[in-house]
Structure 1
Amino acid sequence: MGRGARAADLALVVVAALALTLALDVLDLPAPALFGGLLAGLARGLAGRLRLAVPRPVTTAAQGLVGVSIGALVDGATLEAIGRDWLPVLLVTAGTLLLSVLAGLVLRLQPGVTPVTAAFAMVAGGASGVTVMAGELGADDRTVAVLQYLRVLVVVVLVPGTAVTLFDADPGSGGTTVDDAGPGWPAGLLFAAVCVLAGAPLARLLRIPVPALLGPMLVAAGLDLGGLSGGAAVPVPLEVAAFLVIGLVVGLGFDRDGLRAVARTLPLGLAVILGLVAACAGLGALLAATTGASALDAYLATTPGGLYAVLATARDGGADVTFVLAVQVLRLFAVLLAAPLLARWLRYTGE
């Protein structure tokens, strides 16, 4: 497929994603842009003969804008509350890692799946980073990629509906637009540009995981907490576009060849993933019982991955985004730091 044909193909998928986003918004469903992009990307990924991908600079920019959007919501009072609840949060994070290890042990029951492949495939969180590390440590990176993104897909599909039906999330109740708060879209655009352009290189320099997201987020949070942002926020159209792109990236990550290659592993893998999601929801109930967090906040904070879907749902449903983000980011750091050690240990104990 030539460059022009590929661009036209991608443009068609984007148009479909926009149409789905509008339809989901009319139905008052949570995170419509993220979910619309996901559905359009998934349909194209499974239907097309040739794989289609969102250009890397566009993906990086979308991650950065999401980071700025979330970082601008950081609230000092909520951070203090997390500090008071540091022990339950730390224990829940450790519990998630333990559940990932147990899930990997179960997946090893599938013939042909090595211990290190099972470990990386079931690590909860940091799908892109884990997939990159997998090949370097001797895992089957295709199996890891498919199962990691299958987990992300399951989370993206389940989280919005679960938040509304079980935890009374109120779609459309969270956040404010730049039209009725802050200094307006020009300042918001400048604020977003500064955070993205400064944050990503800084995060890479400091070797922070997922630098495109966490770097701009940390810069935005720092400026906001320091009173230097002037109340600026990412303009709403850019924020919507960013979440739509993230949905497309996840959806387009699935293709028929990849699914065929690990078809025999999928039934057990899906069952283990669903079990992991349910077990993490149990950790969420424990977190809510031992802290001042609401059931919705705790559920979103302990969901195993799907960070962008979780943040979009939290922001759109009126949850405490700062609390959710803090617990999710703590787990993300722990997962990416512990994954190589866990994989090596499981590989050596299986030999």
Structure 2
Amino acid sequence: MLPRTVTTLALLALAALCGPLAQALGLPLPYLLGPLAGSALVATVWPHRLPEGYTFPQPLRQMFLAIIGLMIGAQVTPALLTEAHQYLLTFGAITVFVGLAHGMGYAILRHVGGYDATTAFYASTPGGLYESIAMGEAAGADLTRLMMQQFLRIIVVVTALPLGLSLWIGEPVGSAGGMTLARADVPWSDLPLIVLAGLGGLALGHVLRLPAGQMTGPMALAAVLSLTGWLGFEIPQWLVNLAQMVIGTALGMRFTGLSRGLLLRGAGLSLLSVGAMLTLGVALAAGLHRVTGEAVDVLVITFAPGGVTEMALIALSLQANPAFVTLHHIYRIMLTVVVLGMVTRLRRRAP
């Protein structure tokens, strides 16, 4: 068995190979999905090669989640506020989506998948990945199935939706189409500022107890700095790629010890539940289009239940404001987490 530090370095070296390979294959979000697939392969096929009880270092993952949060938050500009008159309608539609999507996902996992009620409830949320896992584990859900379904939800969305839109439009969209929220020419002298902003954002997310605070804290900080004009900064492309490789590797390692049979069954259930959620999103997007005049494809990615970064990149492909899309995804996540928290407290009080 390899020591833990050597194992982490070996996994990151594998990620450095899988990211460019996925990009060469034209996959969406290649520097996330490539390393995720590589580390998941190690976790499911060769778990005995890992140190006993090995988990990917969480502080490392959190720091790079903060980088992604900064990148997205920097896209929030005063121009975004000019569309505020539409938010009552779109946020209302997101509220309806969260309730119906969760209900459909629960029904599929409970009655088709045969999951117990607690596991099905926490595994079928259309957002709040880490919060769903933490609350579900505390409530007595089957952690293996819960974690698997939540991660598969995001993987299916960030893979299927960009591919589907690419076929619809006739050209690659999102990261597969060369879109990025980063810049290649950021000077190295900006790196200390980026690190300080990331650390400050992590602290903000912790103090305010924000949902997915490792990303939403830095995102909120970057958004405030951008809106007020106090400070503006860009994230270099190499750092964004590195962040996605680290995050993808950490996600893939979550599959350690899962059997291939269980993964295949979970993937089938995820395709059913995500397909139902996306169908609902398309229906709501078509209705909103008639009222707001916003493009249907932009509204569809606004409703997609996962993959905030990739959805923002697709928005860039469609000449839409990525901050508009991201803002609605954050609302979806926060609403899901709030509802989960309320239900969890009610369950605890129940006799």
Q: CA deviation at 1:244?
A: 1.8
Q: CA deviation at 1:288?
A: 4.0
Q: Is the 8 A contact 2:65 2:247 kept in 1?
A: yes
Counterpart CA distance in 1 for 2:306 and 2:254 is 16
Q: CA deviation at 1:159?
A: 3.0
Q: Secondary structure at the match of 2:255?
A: coil
**Match runs of 1:262-341 below 5 Å:** 267-268=268-269, 270-314=271-315, 319-341=320-342
Q: CA deviation at 1:205?
A: 1.3
Q: Is the 8 A contact 2:104 2:273 kept in 1?
A: no
Q: Is the 8 A contact 1:174 1:317 kept in 2?
A: no
**TM-score under structure 1 normalisation?**
0.85
Moved more, 144-153 or 98-107: 98-107
Could you tell me which amino acid in structure 2 is paired with residue 186 of structure 1? Answer: S
Q: CA deviation at 1:136?
A: 1.7
Q: Is the 8 A contact 2:110 2:116 kept in 1?
A: yes
Q: Is the 8 A contact 2:119 2:136 kept in 1?
A: yes
Residue 47 of structure 1 aligns with which residue? Answer: 45
Q: Is the 8 A contact 1:71 1:216 kept in 2?
A: yes
Specify which of 148, 152, 155 is matched with residue 154 of structure 2. Answer: 152
- The question of 1:14 aligning with 2:34 is answered no
Could you tell me which amino acid in structure 1 is paired with residue 97 of structure 2? Answer: G
Counterpart CA distance in 1 for 2:25 and 2:144 is 36
When residues 21 and 211 of structure 1 are mapped into structure 2, their CA distance, relative to the original with a 3 A threshold, is same
Could you tell me which amino acid in structure 2 is paired with residue 38 of structure 1? Answer: L
When residues 224 and 88 of structure 1 are mapped into structure 2, their CA distance, relative to the original with a 3 A threshold, is closer
Q: CA deviation at 1:116?
A: 2.2
Q: CA offsets per residue over residues 279-329 of structure 1, 9 Å max, x none?
A: 334334444443343334222221112334434544577542101110000
Q: CA offsets per residue over residues 148-186 of structure 1, 9 Å max, x none?
A: 11212212321332232224536224445252xx7x341
Specify which of 163, 185, 189 is matched with residue 186 of structure 1. Answer: 189
When residues 265 and 212 of structure 1 are mapped into structure 2, their CA distance, relative to the original with a 3 A threshold, is closer
Residue 141 of structure 2 aligns with which residue? Answer: 139
Q: Is the 8 A contact 2:31 2:244 kept in 1?
A: yes
Q: Secondary structure at the match of 1:253?
A: helix
Identity of aligned residues (%): 25
CA-based RMSD of the aligned residues comes to: 3.1
Counterpart CA distance in 2 for 1:147 and 1:213 is 21
Counterpart CA distance in 1 for 2:255 and 2:287 is 34
Q: CA deviation at 1:115?
A: 2.0
Counterpart CA distance in 2 for 1:26 and 1:150 is 23
Gaps spanning 5+ residues in structure 2: where?
Answer: none
When residues 318 and 113 of structure 1 are mapped into structure 2, their CA distance, relative to the original with a 3 A threshold, is same
**Match runs of 1:129-278 below 5 Å:** 129-167=131-169, 169=173, 171-175=177-181, 177-179=183-185, 184-187=187-190, 189-229=191-231, 231-257=232-258, 267-268=268-269, 270-278=271-279
Counterpart CA distance in 2 for 1:235 and 1:320 is 20
Aligned residues: 343
Q: CA deviation at 1:248?
A: 1.9
**TM-score under structure 2 normalisation?**
0.85
Specify which of 30, 35, 38 is matched with residue 37 of structure 1. Answer: 35
Q: Is the 8 A contact 1:116 1:343 kept in 2?
A: no
Counterpart CA distance in 2 for 1:49 and 1:346 is 36
Counterpart CA distance in 1 for 2:208 and 2:348 is 30
Counterpart CA distance in 2 for 1:315 and 1:245 is 24
Residue 23 of structure 1 aligns with which residue? Answer: 21
Counterpart CA distance in 1 for 2:293 and 2:138 is 41
Specify which of 72, 76, 79 is matched with residue 77 of structure 1. Answer: 79
Q: Is the 8 A contact 1:137 1:340 kept in 2?
A: no
Counterpart CA distance in 2 for 1:115 and 1:348 is 17
Counterpart CA distance in 1 for 2:320 and 2:137 is 37
Counterpart CA distance in 2 for 1:131 and 1:326 is 23
Q: CA deviation at 1:344?
A: 7.3
Q: Secondary structure at the match of 2:111?
A: coil
When residues 282 and 58 of structure 1 are mapped into structure 2, their CA distance, relative to the original with a 3 A threshold, is farther
